[in-house]
Structure 1
Amino acid sequence: MHVSEFYNLGRTQPTLDFVDVDIENDTPVYIDPSTLKKLSDDWALQCMEMLGTFFYSVLDGINHGDQGRVKELLIRLQEPNETHFGLSKGKSRGRALGPYLVRRICDNLSVSRAAQSGLLEDLEDTALFIEGIGKDIVSDITTCVIRGMLISYTQAISSMYGIDLVEGVHCGLAWDPRRREWEETYTRLPIAGGKPLLLVPKVIVRYDLLLTKKEYFRNHLAPALLTEEADKPTSKLVRAAKEAGRELEKRDVEEAYDGDKERMTELSQERVELYREYKEKKKTESIKPLTHAQLARATGTEPVDFDALLNTVLEIPPGSSGASRYHRAIEALFTAIFYPALTQPVIEYPLDDGRKRVDIVYTNRDRKGFFDWLTRHGRPCSYVFVECKNYATELGNPEIDQICGRFTPSRGKVGILACRSFGDKKRFIQRCQDVARNRNEYVIVLDDDDLRLLVDEVKLSLEPREGADGKILRDRPKPSEFRLLHERFRDLVS
């Protein structure tokens, strides 16, 4: 049974901001700390502060020979069953982290040449150089360290979706980045199947880590070793290749040098700049969040159905009696359409000490899409505001002023006004143009007809078309491109 079923949310995975895990069994996804580094919102930055201070404290203990401090930090790591992530068979039981394994990791880290030489800089480096640490361990350690932020996320998202919270739940230890110590946590959390539940934003989960031993060795270390060997005519590998009547090949080097993580450490210590270059290269790569289809496979839930989400909106009759339903239906549709660019929706978000409320506010986490394009072109939108008007009458200046009243330079100056229809749409857009010219505030208007076009565009972008040669043609819009939004934005500034 999934979280959405257990709490009767009436929602599907594409319309939920969190991973809709099975409350009994594990879901085969992981938290990769590298993904958090790609995000710039406050929540992600606080997570990175926690991870940075924790791992620095571990390395500081190793460098000063303080094994007591290292053990004190690592031995407090607990099995994070609350997220239901990993590969445990049957009921979730935190197979990755356990007392024995933590002690082994502690011993391996304490004597690691990679840690002592400065090769280790971040938690994710350990998966390449420390025996016993893989993606499951890195994910579990990350979960333990950022538990405090996952608790705050779970509380906020539970409030939005109507998930009951229980007072005084013991949720293990949380890392305090200021004191740099672990502390016990008793807090409000959902209880599912008799156990505490931590919800995780789906935008930060992956199938694998960004940094992997296999990729680093095969694509970076092995080519360098091949060049070094080829420059040595008397090399054992070169002679063996010549005896076989051929040139030295990359596979020869891979067979000769590939080995355990201790060997990887030795090779990398002698070529530190090579590993630094690998990490710098990975920093520039975009990390694609799991798609709707990938999340459906991982969680065993239904694939996204944009038509059904759109029809739910269109079937609501205009008027005040359907305003609340329209509001919720728009949020569900937009959460599915704009993922992963816009995340962490909050309904009825209070502003200015509660004096104002916005129907929906999203955190902008876009990279290389429409909302990122706005930011890069001087239109700030750290948050994107949405107002929902299920009116049967014409909209006017008050509706524009209402959404613009939510804008500030720090929050952002871009919003979406969702409504049903217009008698004179051109005139209303002209009003929005005046606001854009005079105040640099941008209101994109989407009525029912626009929503149909937007859904058609998104569906088209997710259905790659093959050419006559069987290759995928690139003439379709990218999922994050949102050409319709570009057109509506051009209408404002033209």
Structure 2
Amino acid sequence: MVRVSEFFNLGLGQGALDFVNVDVREDVAVYIDPHALRTQRGDWAEACSSSVSSFFETLLQAIQQDDSSLVHRLVFPLSEPNETHLGQSVGRSRGRSLGSEKRARELVAQLSSSRAIATGMVLDLEETALFVEGIGTDILSDITTCLIREHLLRYTKLQSNFHGIPTESQFVGPIWNSTTHTWDASVAAEVPRGPDGPLVLVPRAIVRFHPTLDKEKYFTGYIRPKYEQLELAKGLSSEFVYLIHEGKRNQQLRVSKTELGDHLGSTKSKLVDHTDRFPDALDSYREHVKLPAVPLTDTDLQSRVGDTPVDLGELLDAIGAIAPGAAGATSYHRAVAALLSSLFSSCLGNQGIETKLHGGLKRIDITYDNVAGDGFFRWLSLHFSAAIVPIECKNYTGDPSNPELDQIAMRLSPSRGQLGFLITRNISDKPRFRARCHAAASDNHGYIIALDDEDLRSLVADYQAAQASEENPREFALLRTMFGRLLGL
């Protein structure tokens, strides 16, 4: 395997990168999950989700109005997105699930003939994986990739600029226009080029091994229990009910779940029938999966892309090796981003670099979407505005002061997020600076956590200790303590 980081000599592994470190020739078996996009918060993820929703709403309307011409115009541009190198191709990426006219016609027929779509049972693209024949993990990912191509191109350009990856103008496929609800012709975009064509980078926060919505889980957890209750009500007259502990005080009836399941059937067409009978089962399943799940961990993703485990100690050493001062500012910025991308990998994602605010009048060094499914950052999102987490990096020789505090405070807002990080080399008078941060919070200027090299070492040590003791490393006790101080606790 020759991964992106090796092909472009980045000197970083998967753990230190915000994007999936794919093989530049072959596919890696991870997939974009539209449900991950829909449950994440932040400008980038929400823009992606909006693109997916606008397409599917247009497609639903076309199918329900029996507008076959429009259905064809919507579906045929969904080509195999080989430029991401995600999927199931064996050998060099060359397309399996979409791309040919034959496959496009099959997809049109499957969508147009689906009773689940025609009746409005399916509300989102991700739900087609439950009810529409022919749509599985790979096709769902490919369709989503095509629909969010515009946003992936923007992400790729930012990541390329930040890591020094060379780009060139290339054509990478049509763009879905959420405003006109039509496909725009392919336009040239500045993206990296691999040995076989353009490369488009994908944020690791939006990929999964399998879609969140799973038809077998839906059947066994939400549909079959409905029938089990019906069979239990019949008692021993049911062919699927048997008695255990017969003749004893604790005797009870049980349902043979396997036999009942085989009798009912769990094909997609059968699931449509079952859902027609028990529509509340689908409502319950939607309620169950509405919360964001924990993204893939470093260990899981590294094993899938064939990369070596990240060494947090080495990432810390890389920061420590940079001399404080203006000359090392760019190197420090990149080294901090590498450490935080690894340390917060299953909590913060969809990394933004030099993000512009207020029409470009202000910029933020690094931003992340809060994609946490548990731990400190999930707790934060439940109690405070924290969809986007800005980070300012200061490679100073001395302590930061009020101007630096004011700078990060001005990047916070109730709509974007109220927590920001100021990362610097050394804070000699921590009580005084933390008192300033507490005063800013008390004046409703947001919550600022300042971390220096010593604090970063403590975060890494706590993370590694939690892993060793098999506790949740995403709790970040130090951050919870610091945030508590900002609240006056």
Shift of 1:489: 2.4
Asked whether the 8 Å contact 2:294–2:374 carries over to 1, the reply is no
Q: Which residue of 2 aligns with 1:403?
A: 408
1:424 aligns with 2:429: yes
Q: Which residue of 2 aligns with 1:269?
A: 276
Kindly report which structure 2 residues correspond to 1:71-110, keeping only aligned pairs within 5 A, or say none: 71-99=72-100, 100-110=102-112
Aligned residue for 1:391, secondary structure, equals: coil
Rate the CA distance shift 1:176–1:248 in 2: closer, same or farther, 3 A. same
CA distance in 1 between counterparts of 2:121 and 2:443 reads 54
Where does the alignment leave 5 or more consecutive residues of structure 1 unmatched? 466-475
Asked whether the 8 Å contact 1:26–1:88 carries over to 2, the reply is yes
CA distance in 2 between counterparts of 1:133 and 1:417 reads 45
Q: Which residue of 2 aligns with 1:330?
A: 336
CA distance in 1 between counterparts of 2:76 and 2:405 reads 56
Asked whether the 8 Å contact 1:114–1:269 carries over to 2, the reply is no
Decide which of 474, 478, 484 is 1:484's aligned counterpart: 478
Shift of 1:171: 1.6
CA distance in 1 between counterparts of 2:277 and 2:411 reads 56
Q: Which residue of 2 aligns with 1:59?
A: 60
CA distance in 2 between counterparts of 1:109 and 1:165 reads 37
Please give the per-residue CA displacement for 1:375-424, whole angstroms capped at 9, x wherever unaligned: 5444x444333333333334433433343343444444433222233443
CA distance in 1 between counterparts of 2:377 and 2:236 reads 57
- Which amino acid letter does the alignment assign opposite residue 486 of structure 1? R
CA distance in 1 between counterparts of 2:375 and 2:487 reads 19
Shift of 1:280: 2.4
CA distance in 2 between counterparts of 1:330 and 1:352 reads 25
1:26 aligns with 2:27: yes
Rate the CA distance shift 1:454–1:73 in 2: closer, same or farther, 3 A. same
Decide which of 130, 137, 154 is 2:156's aligned counterpart: 154
Asked whether the 8 Å contact 2:390–2:419 carries over to 1, the reply is yes
Q: Which residue of 2 aligns with 1:9?
A: 10
Q: Which residue of 2 aligns with 1:124?
A: 126
Asked whether the 8 Å contact 1:237–1:252 carries over to 2, the reply is no
**Bigger mean CA deviation after superposition, 347-356 or 176-185:** 347-356
Please give the per-residue CA displacement for 1:291-315, whole angstroms capped at 9, x wherever unaligned: 0001101111111211111111123
Where does the alignment leave 5 or more consecutive residues of structure 2 unmatched? 247-252
Rate the CA distance shift 1:316–1:218 in 2: closer, same or farther, 3 A. same
CA distance in 2 between counterparts of 1:17 and 1:226 reads 45
Shift of 1:355: 4.5
Asked whether the 8 Å contact 2:40–2:370 carries over to 1, the reply is no
Aligned residue for 2:156, secondary structure, equals: helix
Kindly report which structure 2 residues correspond to 1:181-192, keeping only aligned pairs within 5 A, or say none: 181-188=182-189, 189-192=191-194
Q: TM-score, normalised by structure 1?
A: 0.89
Rate the CA distance shift 1:69–1:462 in 2: closer, same or farther, 3 A. same
CA distance in 2 between counterparts of 1:432 and 1:49 reads 36
**Bigger mean CA deviation after superposition, 255-264 or 184-193:** 255-264
Asked whether the 8 Å contact 2:409–2:445 carries over to 1, the reply is no
Decide which of 344, 350, 358 is 1:344's aligned counterpart: 350
Shift of 1:128: 1.9
Decide which of 261, 270, 280 is 2:287's aligned counterpart: 280
Q: Which residue of 1 aligns with 2:213?
A: 211
Asked whether the 8 Å contact 2:219–2:266 carries over to 1, the reply is no
Q: Which residue of 2 aligns with 1:385?
A: 390
Aligned residue for 2:174, secondary structure, equals: strand
Please give the per-residue CA displacement for 1:27-60, whole angstroms capped at 9, x wherever unaligned: 0011111111111222222222222222222222
Q: Which residue of 2 aligns with 1:462?
A: 467
Rate the CA distance shift 1:101–1:425 in 2: closer, same or farther, 3 A. same
Please give the per-residue CA displacement for 1:289-342, whole angstroms capped at 9, x wherever unaligned: 100001101111111211111111123333444333222211211121122322
Decide which of 439, 458, 472 is 1:453's aligned counterpart: 458
CA distance in 2 between counterparts of 1:218 and 1:138 reads 22
Q: Which residue of 1 aligns with 2:302?
A: 296
Aligned residue for 2:12, secondary structure, equals: coil
Q: Which residue of 2 aligns with 1:471?
A: none
**Bigger mean CA deviation after superposition, 212-221 or 456-465:** 456-465
CA distance in 2 between counterparts of 1:395 and 1:40 reads 31
CA distance in 2 between counterparts of 1:350 and 1:42 reads 12
Shift of 1:89: 0.8
Aligned residues between the structures: 477
CA distance in 2 between counterparts of 1:404 and 1:145 reads 35
Shift of 1:152: 1.8
CA distance in 1 between counterparts of 2:398 and 2:413 reads 29
Q: Which residue of 2 aligns with 1:433?
A: 438
Rate the CA distance shift 1:354–1:227 in 2: closer, same or farther, 3 A. closer
Q: Which residue of 2 aligns with 1:473?
A: none
Rate the CA distance shift 1:337–1:142 in 2: closer, same or farther, 3 A. same
Shift of 1:454: 0.3
- Which amino acid letter does the alignment assign opposite residue 71 of structure 1? H
Aligned residue for 1:288, secondary structure, equals: coil
Shift of 1:439: 4.7
Identity %: 40
CA distance in 2 between counterparts of 1:200 and 1:302 reads 19
